[in-house]
Amino acid sequence: MRIRKIINLVKICVILWLILSVGIGAVSAEGPVWTAKPGWDVPSVGQAAKPAFADLDNDGDYDLLISERFGVSFGYENTGNATSPIWTAKPDWGVPCVGMGAKPAFADLDSDGDYDLMIGEGPSGISYAYENTGNSTSPIWTEKPGWNVPSVGRGAKPAFADLDSDGDYDLLVGEGPYGRTFGYENTGNASSPIWTAKPGWNLSSVGNGASPALADLDGDGDYDLLIGEGLSGVSFAYENTGSASSPHWTMNPSWEIPDVDKAAGPALADLDGDGDYDLLIGRFAGFSHGYENTGATPTATTVPVTTPTPKHEEEEETPTPTTALVPVMPWLIMIVVAIFLVYKRKDKKER
């Protein structure tokens, strides 16, 4: 009888360890600290600014495309450097009106070494694709209907990342009226994308006008998420407590950004060359405000890249997340002790 009880106790402990070790619902204590950085701000482009970063001239620093409410996207060259950006208007990189409520996102969708472009549009809810038919130092945006993403309703706002670690870009697309975010797996390949709905990656409503941005915010080798909201102006944070190949989005309020008025549109990049992600947030008044990450977070991608998978500089492969186990270890020990005491008390009564 005693041996059977001990075996049962061991089984319970093993099951608890397995559940807690994968980090289900547990968030990391590490992560960004957002500190306003007015020197990185971008002047108003009109209304409802939505910025997106990429190195558009291949000089090793991040440049900008900022869309606005009436569908035009404006280019800005970084005429500073990788540690101290200066945003200078670059009309040649701009994109004409796509409709209303444009939101851009960059990725190399045909594996030719330069950035291509996706722009979400408001009334149609379609994300329109543009192939870069120029080169890595001088982009030319050419419509590419074969890469378009079907309508999500209204107010499409795309964001790219490799969410299943298969070497190509996948998509999250926010929508307007209900504030939901929809996942799309690239079931084509790294040079010819096909967007297939992936409900397992969806996120429920944040309110209105969801605007997602993806980056590895805690340095554990998978993509985390910020979602800007339209009415409150708050950017809500979600830690990936799943893995690099199977994301699970868990809210992490400690990473959130305060209200920036309305129509928050976050974009993430390392703007000071210190190895972590900083932030630019567009708002309804048309300005984009800079935030330096003053936390101590080792982040996976430190320079503008065209490869989708985030990797640590010192590692060749993306590690399996383990940080979620640390904060729950004391609880695991307490549970095991409690179970042991219950069995001990029962054993005394039987005697």
The confidence band for 277, taking pLDDT boundaries of 50, 70 and 90, is very high
84 φ/ψ angles, rounded to the nearest 5 degrees = -150, 85
pLDDT number for residue 334 = 47
pLDDT at 30: 78
For residue 327, the Cα-to-chain-centroid distance in whole angstroms is: 23
205-230 pLDDT, tens digit per residue, is 999 999 999 999 999 999 999 999 99
**β-pairing verdict for 170-174 and 278-282:** unpaired
Of 151, 108, 110, 107, the closest CA to residue 128 belongs to: 151
Judged against a pLDDT cut of 70, whether residue 27 lies above it is answered with no
Nearest alpha carbon to residue 48 among 91, 1, 104, 94? 104
pLDDT at 93 over 70: yes
What separation, in Å, do the N-terminal and C-terminal C-alpha atoms of the chain show? Answer: 12
Mean pLDDT of 105-122: 98
Gap between the Cα atoms of 121 and 108, Å rounded: 20
Q: DSSP character for 320? A: P
Nearest-10 Cα torsion for 152, 246, 221, 20: 130
**Which residues, listed in sequence order, are joined to residue 54 by a DSSP beta bridge?**
63
Rounded to 10 deg, the angle between the 2-21 and 329-350 helix axes is 160
Statement: residue 322 has pLDDT above 90: no
From residue 33, give the alpha-carbon distance in Å to each of 116, 169, 212, 294: 31, 27, 19, 5
Q: pLDDT at residue 101 above 90?
A: yes
Helix (H/G/I), strand (E/B), else coil: 113: coil
Between 237 and 3, name the one with better pLDDT. 237
Whether residue 11 is predicted with pLDDT greater than 80 in this model: the reply is no
User: For residue 237, what are the β-bridge partners?
Assistant: 226
Instruction: Tell me what pLDDT residue 211 has.
Output: 98
What gap in Å lies between CA 340 and CA 332, rounded to an integer? 12
Measured between alpha carbons, how far is 137 from 126 in angstroms, rounded to an integer? 28
Average pLDDT on 244-264 reads 94
- Tens-digit pLDDT profile for residues 45-73: 999 999 999 999 999 999 999 999 999 99
Decide: helix, strand or coil at residue 307: coil
pLDDT of residue 57: 98
Mean residue pLDDT across the chain = 84
Q: Is there a contact between 173 and 151 (Cβ–Cβ < 8 Å)?
A: no
* Global confidence as pTM: 0.79
Query: pLDDT confidence of 241, banded at 50, 70, 90?
Result: very high
